[in-house]
Amino acid sequence: MHFPAAACAACPLRERCTTSVRGRSVSIHSDEHLLSELRERQRTPAGRAELRRRVAVEHTLAHIGRWQDRRARYRGTRKNLFDLRRTAVVHNLHVIARQQDGRARSRPRKGRRRRGPGRRGSTGGRRWRQQRR
């Protein structure tokens, strides 16, 4: 939608709306009605529950994507499907191990990063090598 400069000049809210001398243009997504329906559905309790389930699945897929990398490792769908299934099994084993250990975290804890020689805050190469042992 485009509002011509003449229409904007007569508007009392022009200062808050636009500073352009040619008027204002507003673009609306072609599926805006669907997007607004989805936003309304997410505000309901059932929509919030569905969003929580979706977030859990997306976290799982993000973990698998981080382990497997963003690109396919092999040529052909057969080998890549096998690789994806193998990665999913490894992920499931990690989940089972976490549940048996009683850890509730869904992602690995970030450890302290060691500073190597030549980096800011470095204590020197010898001490860095001792830390790595």
Q: What is the pLDDT of residues 78-127, one digit of tens each?
A: 999 999 899 889 989 988 998 888 765 555 556 555 555 555 555 555 55
- Cβ neighbours of residue 48 under 8 Å, at least 6 residues apart? 42
Mean pLDDT of 71-75: 86
Residue 70 has pLDDT above 90, yes or no: no
pTM for the predicted model, two decimal places:
0.45
CA nearest neighbour of 1 among 22, 30, 28: 28
